[in-house]
Structure 1
C-alpha cells in the first residue's frame, strides 16, 4: 500500500476513534436520542439529494434503518452516556464476533479453529471488562452489546441485500431512521428544546463531527481505499480504533486504565484480530 493511502487509512482510524470521545462529549449537552436524531437529519440532508436509489431498494433500506440506525447508533449514543468512552469503544467491537456467529447460524459459514479461539478470547475479554470498575452497573454493558449486535445484523443484511452505493446507503438509512429515533426521544427523553437552546459549541460540534467527519468523510475515504486495495490489507487497520479510543479516553476524558480494562480490552482486540486476519494469505502475499 502506498504511503499516501496508508496515511489516509490511519486518518480514518483516528477520526473513528475520536468519534467515540466526541459522542461522549455530545451526550453531556444533548439527550442521546435527540443527538442521534439531529445527526441522522444532517446526514440525510447532505447525502439523499445527491444519491438517489431505486424504489425497489426502499424496503431494504427501511429494514436497515431499524438495525443500523435505531439499534446500533441510537443504543451506542445511549450507552456512551453511561459508560467510559474507551470501554464503550471496546464493547462495540464485539460486533465482529457477533457477525461471525450470525454468519455461521444463518449463512452456514464455517468457523475453523482460529476463529473459534478468537471468539472465545473476545467473550472472555467482555467477562473481564464486566468485572472491572469501568462499568458500575450491567445496564451500559447490555446497551452497548445490543448496539454491537445491531451492527452485526446490519452487516449480514448488507452482505445479502441489493448492491447500493455506500453514500446512498448511509443517506437513505439515516433518512428512514430519523422518525424512529425522534419518536424515541419524544417518548423517553425530556427537555429537548431547552437542551437545544442551551447547547454550547461542544454539543453542536459533536453532532456535526459525527455526521460529517465520521459518517461521510471517513467512510468516503474508507470505501475508496477498499476499492483500490485488497480487503485483507485495509480492514485490519480497524483494530487500532479501540486501542486509540482507550488512549484518547484516558488522555482527554480522564478514563481509568485499570487492569480489567487493559486485560479485557487486550483479549477483545486479540480475539477480533484472530477472526478478521487471514495470516496464511498475508504470508503468501509478502
Structure 2
C-alpha cells in the first residue's frame, strides 16, 4: 500500500522551501518532507534549531540549504530566495509556517506590537509567495504553496484581534492567489491549526497564565482539552506534517484555494464544549458544571 501511495503522491525528487522550518511545527514538516524524498531550502530565526533540522534531513540523504534569518526582514527573505535560485534547479513546494503573537487587548498593544503581528502573520507571506512563484514556474510542472493560518482567522478571537485579522488576510490572499495561479497549475491552500503543543503557543500567553498552567497536574491539564476539542486531545505536530504532505503532493492535485482545518474538530464544534458533570455538549455550562464551579450558588 505504501508503494501505491508514494507513486500517487509523487513527492520524490521535488524541492521544498519551508519558511520557519527550523524548530517545532516547522521542523516536523521539514523532516516529513525529507522522509518523502524532498530536498529542502530552510530558513528560521532560531539558528540552533535550524542546524539540527538540516543535519537530520541530510542524514536522510537529502540536499539541504539552510539560512538563519527573520522572515519579516525583507532583504533577508529576498536573500533566501536568491540563494534558492542559485542552489536548486527547481522549486516545487513552498510552506510558510513562520508566525506568532502574544495575548493582549488592542487598547493595550503598542504600535510596534501591531506592526509586528501584521508582518509575521501576513506581510512576509505575500513577499514569500511573490518570490517563490517565478521559481516554481521554471519547471513548467506546477507546484503547491501551503500557508499556515489559524482557527482564529475564522472566529472572533478576543485578545488576539490583530493576529486574527492578519491570519484572515493570509487565508483570503491564498484563495485569491489560487485563482491567479490556476492556469500555471500552482495550487495555493491553507492549513488552520488550533491548539497545538508548541513553544509558540505557550509564548503567546502572559507569563502568569503559562506558569499557572504548568503548575497543574498533567491529568488536570488534559481535562481542558477533553472539554474543548471533540477529539479529546490537541493534534500533534505529525498531524500537521501529514496535512502538508497531502497538500504538497499530487494526491491533492485538484485541491486549491481551500483551508484545511487540522484541529480535532474545534472549528466544527463552533463553541460547543463537552462540559463535565453530566452537562455534555452545549455552548454554555448547565447545572451540573455550574454547581461545581459555584458551590454556593444554589437558591435557598
Higher RCO (CA 8 Å, separation ≥ 6 residues): 1
Flag whether TM exceeds 0.5 (same fold): no
TM-score by length of 1: 0.30
Higher helix proportion: 1
More strand by share: 2
Bigger Cα Rg:
2
